[in-house]
């Protein structure tokens, strides 16, 4: 029988393994298995939760901190489904053990009556959709929480300034233009004049953006939104209740935006912040995301979006 080089290699390998101790074989198999699992069987969690310092924590820790807080600012990425799901889960869990009040940037103050009519069953969803200025992703992302509030008789506050008034500030570049509003319209915004500090880091960050995103006018429009949301949160907060507020992460990241105005109005309340970030690798929190909030929900950047 003629042996090729390949046959000799195989024969040599077989003879080697026959003589190798059993524990050596097991070691080789264990290494091969670990490499296989590492490459192809890796767990794929959708998100992790971190403290501000980058330490990984459980949802239970986030929940227990929220339960002890007077106000929770839940910063979201508007099209991130994990953030919206966790908002709903947190609200449900808090409702089991404490009194809660809800509020959201996504509803403007002049739509409060319409929102109340929906919560009290005087109009249906079609009526809410036609009478209020709802976000395009309302049905998928906000309706579940609004409906939970309706079904459980939880107050839901429309906290944002009517967008036409924010546009007035943007177009005119000053807050004085709002002084022209009537008394009823002024009731839908923060009391004037508002304190404005253009040197706040988050506002300066806006100025570093390119194009129309980085203008002083946009900074002031952002500030009047922050001030108005803070005003309606403080106005509707109650002792013994946790006020959970939903807002874009930029409005509360790095303890700025809404939180600055909240502390101006009432320093004594216990505030907690949550934010949402996306990363390629969620096993560790990126340095740039540390310190954004008390709790940071880190979502895999491949997560599907509720809209584009």
In DSSP notation, 152-190 reads TT--EEEEEPPHHHHHHHHHHSSSGGGGGS-HHHHTTSP
Q: Which of 34-48, 87-101, 164-178, 267-281 has the lowest mean pLDDT?
A: 34-48
Q: How far apart are CA 277 and CA 292, in angstroms?
A: 9
What element of type H or E holds 14? helix 5-19
Q: Which residues make Cβ contacts (< 8 Å) with residue 124, sequence separation at least 6?
A: 118
The more confident residue out of 213 and 76 is 76
Bridging pattern class, strands 295-300 and 271-279: parallel
- Report the share of the chain in percent with pLDDT over 90: 79
The more confident residue out of 287 and 32 is 287
Residue 67: is its pLDDT beyond 90? Answer: yes
pLDDT (0 to 100) of residue 32:
46
Supply the DSSP string of 98-115, one letter for each residue.
SEEEEEEEEEEGGGHHHH
The more confident residue out of 198 and 231 is 231
Q: Which of 6-10, 19-23, 36-40, 232-236 has the lowest mean pLDDT?
A: 6-10
CB 87 within 8 A of CB 246: yes
Q: What's the rounded mean pLDDT across residues 184-194?
A: 97
pLDDT (0 to 100) of residue 34:
52
Bridging pattern class, strands 56-57 and 47-51: antiparallel
CB 206 within 8 A of CB 222: yes
Helix-helix angle 143-151:81-97, to 10 degrees: 10
pLDDT (0 to 100) of residue 245:
98
pLDDT (0 to 100) of residue 137:
95
Q: Sorting pLDDT into bands at 50, 70 and 90, what band is 26?
A: low
pLDDT (0 to 100) of residue 209:
76
pLDDT (0 to 100) of residue 30:
53
Read off the pLDDT of residues 192-218 as tens digits, 9 standing for 90 and up. 999 999 888 888 888 877 665 678 899
Chain mean pLDDT for the chain: 89
Residue 77: is its pLDDT beyond 60? Answer: yes
pLDDT (0 to 100) of residue 10:
38
Q: Sorting pLDDT into bands at 50, 70 and 90, what band is 12?
A: very low
Read off the pLDDT of residues 107-147 as tens digits, 9 standing for 90 and up. 999 999 999 999 999 999 999 999 999 999 999 999 999 99
Q: Sorting pLDDT into bands at 50, 70 and 90, what band is 83?
A: very high
Q: How far apart are CA 152 and CA 95, in angstroms?
A: 9
CB 144 within 8 A of CB 88: yes
Provide the whole-model pTM: 0.86
Q: What's the rounded mean pLDDT across residues 276-283?
A: 97
Residue 157 region, left (φ>0) first, then alpha (ψ -120 to 50), else beta?
beta
Q: How far apart are CA 143 and CA 145, in angstroms?
A: 5
């Amino acid at each position: 029988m003629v042996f090729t080089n390949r046959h000799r290699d195989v024969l040599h390998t077989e003879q080697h393994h026959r003589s190798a101790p059993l524990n050596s074989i097991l070691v080789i198999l264990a290494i091969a298995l670990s490499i296989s699992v590492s490459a192809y069987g890796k767990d794929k969690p959708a998100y992790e939760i971190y403290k501000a310092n980058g330490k990984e924590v459980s949802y239970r820790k986030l929940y227990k901190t929220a339960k002890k807080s007077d106000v929770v600012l839940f910063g979201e990425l508007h099209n991130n489904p994990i953030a919206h799901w966790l908002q709903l889960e947190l609200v449900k869990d808090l409702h089991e053990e404490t009194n809660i009040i809800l509020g959201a940037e996504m509803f403007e103050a002049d739509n409060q009556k319409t929102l109340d009519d929906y919560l009290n069953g005087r109009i249906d969803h079609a009526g809410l959709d036609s009478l209020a200025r709802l976000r395009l992703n309302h049905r998928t992302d906000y309706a579940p929480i609004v409906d939970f509030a309706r079904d459980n008789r939880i107050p839901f506050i429309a906290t944002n300034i009517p967008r036409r008034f924010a546009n007035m500030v943007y177009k005119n570049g000053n807050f004085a233009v709002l002084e022209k509003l009537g008394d009823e319209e002024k009731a839908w915004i923060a009391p004037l004049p508002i304190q404005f500090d253009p040197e706040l880091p988050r506002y300066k960050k806006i100025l570093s953006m390119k194009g129309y995103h980085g203008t002083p006018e946009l900074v002031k429009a952002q500030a009047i939104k922050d001030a108005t949301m803070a005003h309606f949160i403080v106005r509707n907060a109650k002792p013994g209740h946790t006020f959970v507020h939903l807002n874009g992460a930029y409005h509360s990241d790095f303890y700025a935006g809404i939180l600055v105005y909240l502390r101006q109005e009432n320093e004594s309340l216990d505030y907690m912040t949550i934010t949402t970030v996306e990363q390629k690798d969620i096993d560790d929190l990126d340095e740039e995301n540390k310190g954004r909030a008390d709790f940071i929900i880190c979502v895999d950047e491949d997560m599907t979006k509720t809209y584009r």
